[in-house]
């Protein structure tokens, strides 16, 4: 059952990454692409221990980096997502039951993840140039993260209740 839930989460993350690449990217919104996978990782991190959350972030990042149209080397998003998930999981006690804090966390991580990615890209010496200025990307990413959170976080909470009524997590 635990393995099945893990595969289910993997499928959800892969589908979300595909939606991000195939739907949200081509829309052509100004600035960053709405970070759907990152919001899923955030949501999962709220209900997991730090190491498990970091593992989910790592796997999600690997999927994003391995997408056919990805421009980031394998491991760049994994690093940023794992770091973000670990931090969020460490403060999860504050966020469970709160409405405002997860949105604030989404805004902060939405803004910081592209920054961490940029930093890591320069650290490993990868050639990477964005079409938009970094500040625009950070601001729009934070904005889109908040907007997505208002839909995705309640939807995932409902899914968790539906699939695991006694335990508020569908993957432990």
Residue 98 vs 122, nearer CB to other proteins:
122
Considering only residues 69, 97, 129, 165, which one is a binding residue for other proteins as defined by CB under 8 A?
69
Distance CA 168, CA 10 (A): 18
**88 makes contact with other proteins (CB under 8 A):** no
Number of residues counted as binding other proteins (CB under 8 A)? 41
For residues 64 and 17, is the Cβ–Cβ distance under 8 A?
A: yes
- List the one residue from 12, 67, 112, 143 that touches other proteins (CB under 8 A): 67
The CA distance from 81 to 60, in Å, is 7
Nearer Cβ to other proteins, position 90 or 167? 90
Is residue 121 within 8 Å of 76, Cβ to Cβ? yes
Q: Within 13 Å and on the Cβ side, how many CA atoms surround 12?
A: 22
Rounded-to-integer distance, Cα 111 and Cα 169, Å: 26
Using CB under 8 A, which of 6, 73, 101, 150 touches other proteins? 73
Judged by the rule CB under 8 A, the positions of this chain that interact with other proteins are: 14-15, 17-19, 21-23, 26-29, 50-51, 54-55, 58, 61-63, 65-69, 72-76, 78-79, 82-83, 86, 120-121, 123-126
């Amino acid at each position: 059952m635990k393995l099945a839930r893990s595969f289910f989460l993997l499928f959800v993350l892969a589908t979300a990454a595909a939606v991000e690449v195939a739907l949200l990217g081509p829309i052509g919104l100004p600035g960053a692409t709405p970070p759907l996978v990152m919001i899923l990782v955030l949501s999962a991190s709220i209900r997991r221990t730090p190491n498990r959350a970091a593992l989910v972030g790592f796997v999600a990042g690997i999927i994003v980096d391995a997408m056919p149209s990805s421009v980031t080397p394998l491991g760049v998003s994994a690093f940023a997502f794992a770091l973000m998930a670990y931090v969020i999981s460490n403060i999860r006690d504050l966020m469970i039951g709160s409405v405002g804090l997860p949105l604030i966390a989404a805004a902060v991580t939405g803004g910081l993840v592209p920054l961490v990615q940029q930093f890591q890209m320069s650290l490993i010496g990868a050639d990477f140039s964005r079409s938009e200025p970094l500040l625009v990307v950070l601001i729009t990413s934070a904005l889109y993260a908040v907007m997505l959170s208002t839909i995705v976080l309640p939807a995932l909470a409902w899914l968790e209740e539906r699939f695991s009524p006694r335990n508020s997590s569908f993957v432990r």
